[in-house]
């Protein structure tokens, strides 16, 4: 399908990224899944290709490109290879980047952004807690002043890039009993005393994604590791969540699209009763439905991408894109598994891995139920 949202320079980048993924990432992908981590050389190579700091000003080693469509291209091509690859890079480049660009002082940018762009400084963001889940205002991780420093205590869970991250943006309560009004953001760096990031979580899918619990036991943070204003964390997070949810939607559609491509290849060559199974009316109609549903979803997500580039994507639009694309992704890939028959349940097949990898899309970046709540509020309900 033609996609008017992209221009020739975006497609030029796409060719570069696809070639890199095919030649360098794909051959090592099975090893990443076995070892439960994406090799740091992949990050450094992405840095060499200029893929990590697209929006970072050139003065700090980035591309200086204020156009999220370039990020979308990188995201799509990584997700065609594996959803976990896309999510790991998305957290670094799409989610953490705005915090380090927009809430930092020049001294902080000089300290953190060059390594961010080269892949030497891998980033994560820590919002979710074991007892809070999607209710960010209920977080219990706390930071208290001690002289010029802050002392951080608490725990976070389900953190992508958690054990390997060199820099983690952490949301913590700085004013007790104040819900969303008393939250601040801090940067915690690998190796700080009291910071533990060594508990990797076992998941039913995306084994190559480094997902972890993080623990903070009296971590002493200098004043220069506060991001933005004291008690300004809630507003900062709410302003930046739409980009995260848009990025997730972009991933969902690209991931499902690759599963459909592989399924079409399968039904054209797999025979039953003397005919390709794709020629059976039921299968033909089902694939017609899947392709149509995916293309309609792609049009909406592309529209949201265009609005975001123009600075006009609101939280409601992003919530719609996130929840709908996740539902479509899961329906589509489940049908692709069925069309593969018994082979679709074999772990050696891409479609089986895609099915397991996709399930979390309806949970992360705000569960689909939370997205519907946000949409409902926009209707005055």
Question: What are the residue numbers of the active site?
Answer: 244
d(CA 245, CA 126): 16
Describe the crossing of helices 368-378 and 315-339 by its angle, rounded to 10 degrees.
140
DSSP states of 167-212: EEEEEEESSTT-GGGGEEEEEEETT-TTEEEEEEPP-SS-TTS-EE
How deeply is 88 buried, as exposed, middle or buried, from its count of CB atoms within 10 A (0-12, 13-18, 19+)?
buried
Query: How far are the Cα atoms of 98, 171, 212, 379 from residue 199, in angstroms, in the given order?
Result: 27, 19, 6, 42
Residue found by looking up tokens 């989610």 in the block: 95
What are the backbone angles phi and psi of residue 189, rounded to the nearest 5°? -110, 145
Please answer whether residues 203 and 55 qualify as being in contact, where contact means their C-beta atoms are separated by less than 8 angstroms: no
Q: Is 211 helix (H, G, I), strand (E, B) or coil?
A: strand
Bridge partners for 220 per DSSP: 151
Q: Which two tokens stand for residue 141?
A: 């991780």
How deeply is 348 buried, as exposed, middle or buried, from its count of CB atoms within 10 A (0-12, 13-18, 19+)?
exposed
In 3D space, the residue among 195, 238, 241 whose CA is nearest the CA of residue 218 turns out to be: 195
Bridge partners for 199 per DSSP: 213
Q: What are the residues whose beta carbons fall under 8 Å from the beta carbon of 246, sequence distance 6 or more?
A: 68, 301, 304, 305, 308, 313, 318, 321, 322
Half-sphere exposure of 327 (CA within 13 A, CB side): 13
Q: Which secondary structure element, helix H or strand E, spans residue 269, and what is its range?
A: helix 233-269
């Amino acid at each position: 399908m033609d996609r008017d949202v992209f221009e020739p320079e975006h497609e030029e980048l796409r060719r570069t990224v696809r070639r890199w993924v095919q030649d360098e990432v794909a051959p090592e992908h099975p090893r990443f899944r076995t070892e439960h981590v994406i090799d740091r050389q992949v990050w450094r190579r992405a840095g060499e290709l200029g893929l990590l700091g697209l929006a970072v000003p050139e003065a700090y080693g980035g591309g200086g490109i204020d156009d999220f469509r370039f990020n979308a291209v990188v995201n799509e091509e990584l997700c065609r290879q594996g959803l976990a690859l896309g999510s790991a890079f998305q957290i670094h480049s799409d989610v953490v980047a705005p915090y380090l660009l927009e809430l930092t002082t020049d001294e902080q940018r000089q300290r953190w952004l060059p390594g961010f762009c080269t892949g030497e400084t891998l980033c994560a963001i820590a919002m979710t807690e074991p007892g809070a889940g999607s209710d960010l205002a209920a977080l219990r991780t706390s930071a208290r002043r001690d002289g010029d420093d802050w002392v951080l205590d608490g725990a976070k869970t389900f953190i992508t890039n958690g054990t390997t991250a060199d820099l983690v943006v952490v949301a913590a309560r700085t004013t007790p009993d104040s819900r969303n009004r008393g939250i601040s953001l801090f940067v915690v760096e690998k190796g700080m005393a009291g910071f533990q990031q060594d508990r990797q979580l076992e998941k039913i899918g995306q084994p190559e994604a480094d997902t972890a619990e993080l623990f903070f036991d009296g971590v002493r943070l200098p004043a220069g590791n506060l991001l933005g204003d004291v008690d300004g964390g809630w507003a900062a997070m709410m302003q930046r969540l739409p980009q995260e949810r848009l990025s997730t939607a972009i991933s969902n559609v690209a991931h499902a699209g690759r599963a459909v491509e592989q399924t079409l290849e399968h039904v054209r060559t797999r025979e039953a009763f003397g005919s390709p199974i794709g020629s059976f009316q039921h299968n033909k109609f089902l694939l017609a439905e899947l392709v149509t549903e995916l293309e309609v979803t792609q049009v909406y997500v592309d529209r949201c991408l265009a609005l975001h580039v123009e600075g006009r994507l609101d939280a409601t639009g992003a919530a719609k894109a996130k929840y709908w694309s996740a539902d479509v992704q899961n329906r589509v890939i489940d049908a692709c598994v069925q069309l593969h028959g018994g082979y679709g349940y074999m772990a050696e097949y891409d479609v089986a891995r895609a099915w397991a990898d996709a399930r979390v899309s309806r949970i992360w970046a705000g569960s689909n139920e939370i997205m519907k709540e946000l949409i409902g509020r926009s209707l005055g309900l």
